[in-house]
A and B are shown apart, each in its own frame.
Chain A
């Protein structure tokens, strides 16, 4: 059983229905540690040693955050700058993250990804995360496609949100239990649809 560290970053969590559903889906899962960065470091003073210890204890590192300006919220960048130091995460002696798996669970506000808005982005979410992908590769980590939840309108049916949350929980369980085909999951544009293509069903169900 692999262990999963969710590094959760959301400066306005109070206002996000989507993220609340995802956090609820990731809570109370054995083998999954949910680490709320904005709650832990309100002043942005990231504790490097504590963060590195957390990383060392887990096999899969999952960054869960909304997409702000096509990137992660500021504290996650700060976390990256402080924690991934030379000689620890990369560089000659930096082997601490080697062999681990990295991926993102991202919510978007959807508007900017909808074709009807005309001036939509020219990239997919996966492409926007390319700095993170490169970082993961530099640290010797396996980078998987992101789990993307496009934002819901206020009037969206709650059923859709529930479905996204359930998929997220299913993905976490499969990652934890080693039922994810990592090669397939790394090659896809995203992990939030057709889960059956890269996740094996649990053994007892098979």
Chain B
């Protein structure tokens, strides 16, 4: 058995490794890549997938994790700003689409339980495909993109009550699903005897309990762990948290995904949100990939070959139904025509949540195997059609409206990530963050010091606990979308690590970096960071300027000298960059020459101020003298005592 696990792991991973990049290249997105990989290794083609339904059951845990992550994304602030679109537009899209599909199904003689279930499945669209496609075409930030996003969010949210509702719609004998914790399965049967309605009530009570208990227990616990600064333990606890919530829900015979969703919402406002997101993301990605491969592999494609016309008609019906519903709602909500078309064409397919619901419906006895297979096949086909719909949108629909209604470049909410990411929020980063915020830019802050994070949050600032040298965390903080990355970490090694990471993964993201000293400065510059600021230079120069004033130099003259000094010092530093790999002698020679040049330049600058005043007229003794050693000094002329 262990041999075959290894073998299947290789087959699944290899199929994904080939199909996913290929699908991405073709503009189909990763979800379709996984599904294609599944179809390739499935019984229709290579038939090497093995027990794909067992894999599917296992991989369902990816869905559980996905809901945890969706929960984490549900920040009340976003919900508030999009509430009209989410509740109104999105809520109506789910209800109207579900009702319309159910009505047609009823009319065709399908039982009402099944009709409602099919309607709910059909209302879902593919968050993953749609968001990626809109993003690729730069449509996400516009009005159409935002409305689409709001509808998708509403669909994601509605999955939670639908999961609770499905057991009530069961008409056939439930298929025993995969149990994450088989030991509790027996105990769980105790609950099976309860009436479905009671179960729904129980679900709500559990959700509330989880929410409140977790808020007061989990956050302090996570804080304690963060202070231990052990990354592994944090990962471990994040996984433990998700697994135990899922297990607890299962014990009560409730959908595990619902529990993890609630756990996610509960932690969405906590300072550990980005860190948790980063920890769970890889597991979710892998398992969800596996889930889609398994779905692809378990498709019985003979339903297509047996009656192609029937499938084609159903597909066309679903796509046009969904498209028309969104178009009608867009008009009802007075969206611009262009925005309405973008939303309608984007959301016409049935998506991965549809597949999740079909799988869950099969386990809870809502669907028979035959219906589940046909529904899943239709869903997958509709997903494959999506790129064609986007092409139709771009080539046919949008060009006709482009002139009349251009997309608004900056809507109230442009993206769900800030424009500026600041890593390191100590004395240095805080000044930058406050200044940039005051100027009206949105800032996401990452810091690794739990005490600092706690304190700043108490002061009302948005700060996240997290290690910026991790790619997942940078991704979660929105580096792919940010306009600027401020690298204000004080530790030079860590700072260089982050700089290299950003240059590798986000080559276009501008960096403004803090350098501890000249070595750190040079290292950052060599990594390709253009704008590097030495952390104590400006304050030291200010103190130098004050010193010159105290010694009797005019304030403006002192300021000019300090500014000139700074420019020359910077030029020298840049010049020395070319010598870092030269022999030490060459380096020292160059450094010495640089110092001499600088002194010369300073003398000339001071003299230049005098030259403003024609020296042939009414000037006194030259202010610069040459000292016996040959090095020159600037001697200030004390101003008269008129100020006192």
Residues in A lying within 8 Å of B, measured CB to CB: 11-18, 20, 23-24, 26-27, 34, 36, 38-43, 66, 68, 75, 109-111, 151-154, 156
Residue in A17, A24, A38, A40 whose beta carbon sits within 8 Å of that of B620 in the complex: A17
B613 proximal to A (CB < 8 A): yes
8 additional contacts (CB under 8 A) given A11-B557, A14-B610, A42-B554: A12-B610, A14-B554, A15-B612, A23-B640, A27-B640, A36-B642, A111-B614, A154-B617
- A156: nearest residue on chain B (CB-CB)? B618
> In the complex the two chains form, is A24's CB within 8 Å of B556's CB?
no
Q: Are B559 and A15 in contact (CB under 8 A)?
A: no
Number of interface residues of B (CB under 8 A): 26
- Contact (Cβ within 8 A) B642 A153: no
Q: In the bound complex, what is the Cα–Cα distance between A66 and B623 (angstroms)?
A: 20
Q: Taking CB as reference atom, which chain B residue is nearest A151?
A: B617
How many whole Å from B633's CB to the nearest CB in chain A?
A: 15
Take A15-B609, A34-B642 as given contacts and tell me if A151 and B614 are in contact as well, using a CB distance cutoff of 8 Å: yes
Nearest chain-A residue to B563 (Cβ)? A43
A23/B614 in contact, CB under 8 A: no
Question: Which one of B556, B623, B639, B641 contacts A11 once the chains associate, using CB atoms below 8 Å?
Answer: B556
Q: How far is the CA of A200 from the CA of B118 in the complex (A)?
A: 105
Q: Is the CB of B612 within 8 A of A18?
A: no
Interface residue B67 (Cβ < 8 Å from any Cβ of A): no
Main secondary structure of the interface of A (DSSP, over half): mixed
Residue of B613, B619, B636 most packed against chain A (CB within 10 A) = B613
Given known contacts A20-B640, A36-B643, A66-B613, A14 and B618 CB-to-CB distance under 8 angstroms: no
Chain B residues 569-619 with CB under 8 Å of chain A are: 609-610, 612-619
Query: Are B555 and A15 in contact, with the CB atoms below 8 A?
Result: no
- With contacts A11-B612, A12-B613, A109-B614 taken as known, whether A154 is within 8 angstroms of B556 at the C-beta atoms is no
Known contacts A39-B554, A39-B555, A39-B556; A13/B639 CB under 8 A: yes
* B170 interface hit (Cβ, 8 Å): no
CA distance A39 to B619 in the complex (A): 20
Q: Which of the listed residues B618, B642, B643 has the most CB atoms from chain A within 10 Å of its own CB? A: B618
| B435 neighbours in A (Cβ, 8 Å) | none
A contact residues around B643 at 8 Å (CB): 36, 39
Q: Does B358 contact A (CB under 8 A)?
A: no
Closest B residue to A18 by beta carbon equals B618
Q: For A34, what are the chain B residues with a Cβ–Cβ distance below 8 Å?
A: 642
Question: With A14-B557, A68-B612 given, is the CB distance from A154 to B619 under 8 Å?
Answer: yes
Task: Determine whether the beta carbon of B613 is less than 8 Å from that of A38.
Answer: no
Set of chain A residues within 8 Å of B558, measured between Cβ atoms: 42
- Which A residue's beta carbon lies closest to that of B642? A27
* Chain A CB within 8 A of B401 CB: no
When chains A and B are docked, how far (Å) is the Cα of A12 from the Cα of B342?
Answer: 65
